[in-house]
Amino acid sequence: MTINIRPVQPGFVGEVTGIDICQPLSAADVAAIERGMDEFAVLTFPKQPLTDDQQVVFSANFGELEIPLAAQMAAPETRRFQKLELGDISNFAVGSTEVLRARDDKKRMYALANRLWHSDASFRAVGAGYTLLHSRINPSKGGNTEFADMRAAYDALDSATKALVDDMIVEHSIVYSREQIGFTVEGDSADLKPVKHRLVVTHPVTGRKSLYLSSHIGSIVGWLIPEARAFLRDLTEHATQRQFVYSHPWEVNDLVMWDNRTVMHRATRFDDLKEKRDLRRTSIKGVGLAVDHVPVAQAAE
């Protein structure tokens, strides 16, 4: 079998065939996928019936796995998976794969913010690099995941805006994204405190600049809050224009992998009170990202 990548959206999304990712990969295969990620930023792998364990093994080819904040903050008895590295992207009630979350379930409210454009774990000092999402059950309608190319979005800025954003430092927190839809994140975990990132990051391999935007951003260092938020909204609108976006309609056993350093994504609506949707997420800790570029004095504030 030879690995083959077919452009779905040239320069942004590629479909990978000719490889069985349920099996251990050769170093050459891993390198080919990484090259594909650098070239495209989003790769889809159709018809890969991964088990949870196989997804974790496949993901570990690309770096150290991250523990999702939701799993970390959840009481052990409310966690769906024993493996902490496995993110539960489903609408199941605690302890069930039949009962759906109730309309006012707090986990449901928390997850609704995934419908805002974001970059995974950008609220951490070291945000996610790759995220890998595997589909098990899909609703009959809706529930796509959409991806926006932050390199193309950066390239398309006019030179005045590029100059304005190039050295901008912004603050990210999970609290901000939830606040936008009127949900208050409770707890005093250190993970809720804002972290600083550069708004423009340079990819460690390709050297391309991209906008490191995310709904987790609540302010710009040195700016008044209302001005910062109005500006960030404009920028997000620019960066998620149709020409930068790919919408993925899920098939069971699709695995989609994207680079959070160069891509924002969001879930789209489906009838989550009536239909099941079950995906499993693994994420790789980002390297060469953002915080490394923040001047030490500011990062330490």
Partner 1 sequence: MTLSFAPLTPTIAAEVSSIDLTRPLTPEQVRAIDDGMDRYGVLVFHDQRFDDETQLAFSRNFGELEVSSGAEMSKPEEMRLKMEMADISNLDPNNRLRAADDRKRLGALGNRLWHSDASFRAVPAKYSLLSARIVPPKGGNTEFADMRAAYDALDDATKAQVENLVTEHSNAFSREIIGFERQDYGPENQDKLRPVRHRLVRYDPHTGRKSLYLSAHIGGIIGWPIPEARAFIRDLMEHATQPEFVYAHAWKPWDLVIWDNRTTMHRARRYNDLTDVRDMRRSTIRGDGVTVEQVQQAA
Q: Which residues contribute to the site for partner 1 (CB under 8 A)? A: 103-104, 109, 112-113, 115-116, 178, 180-183, 218-219, 224-231, 233-234, 268-269
Report in angstroms how near the CB of residue 156 gets to partner 1 at its nearest. Answer: 15
In this complex, which beta carbon is closest to partner 1, that of residue 34 or of residue 146?
146
In this complex, which beta carbon is closest to partner 1, that of residue 162 or of residue 229?
229
Specify which residues 142 forms β-bridges with: 270
Placement of tokens 């159709």 in the chain? 46
- How far apart are alpha carbons 205 and 203 in whole angstroms? 6
Three-state DSSP at 17 gives strand
Report in angstroms how near the CB of residue 97 gets to partner 1 at its nearest. Answer: 23
DSSP letters, 124-152, are: SSS-EEEEEEEEEE--SSB--EEEEEHHH
In this complex, which beta carbon is closest to partner 1, that of residue 77 or of residue 158?
158
In this complex, which beta carbon is closest to partner 1, that of residue 2 or of residue 159?
159
Can you read off the two tokens belonging to residue 151? 């390199």
Can you read off the two tokens belonging to residue 96? 């069930």
Report in angstroms how near the CB of residue 180 gets to partner 1 at its nearest. Answer: 7
> For 247, which DSSP code?
E
CB 270 within 8 A of CB 139: yes
In this complex, which beta carbon is closest to partner 1, that of residue 193 or of residue 233?
233
In this complex, which beta carbon is closest to partner 1, that of residue 55 or of residue 214?
214
Report in angstroms how near the CB of residue 238 gets to partner 1 at its nearest. Answer: 11
Report in angstroms how near the CB of residue 226 gets to partner 1 at its nearest. Answer: 4
Report in angstroms how near the CB of residue 285 gets to partner 1 at its nearest. Answer: 29
Distances (CA, A) of 63 to 31, 43, 46, 71, 263: 12, 17, 22, 20, 18
Q: What is the helix (H) or strand (E) element at residue 230, kind and residue range?
A: helix 225-239
- How far apart are alpha carbons 45 and 26 in whole angstroms? 17
